[in-house]
Amino acid sequence: MRVIERQFSDLLRHPKEVTSALEDGDVLLRRRDEPDLRLTAADREADRSEAFTALARAFRTSPCTAPRCWVRHSRTRSRGSDSWRPQSGASSSTSSLG
């Protein structure tokens, strides 16, 4: 996604020119002594939101992030903290959580 940088004053002076740049990507409006603003088309933001939601679902259901995928290894446990690592295979020295 292309981000076009413009001064905030450009939006005030030439609003049609700045908003027409939205066809090429988001517009980042630089402001002096204030946080920058980002203009984006509503449909583009909706598409972006749907993509992030789908990605979050994929991570949530991924076997690598499921709690049952993690195993506590008592031999690698250091004093005062637990060591965790992904389950690579069943072993008699590991116990499954979850």
Report helix, strand or coil for 90. coil
* pTM of structure: 0.53
Position 94 scores a pLDDT of: 47
| Residue the block writes with tokens 């060591």 | 83
Position 91 scores a pLDDT of: 47
Token pair in block for residue 94:
């590991």
Residue 50 pLDDT exceeds 70: yes
Exposure letters 19-49 (e unless 16+ CB within 10 A, then b) = eebeeeebbebeeeeeeeeebeeeeeeeeee
Q: What average pLDDT does the segment 18-22 reach?
A: 91
Q: Which domains does the chain have, with CATH numbers?
A: 3-61 (3.40.1620.10)
Task: Tell me what percent of the residues of the chain surpass a pLDDT of 70.
Answer: 63
Task: Tell me what percent of the residues of the chain surpass a pLDDT of 90.
Answer: 40
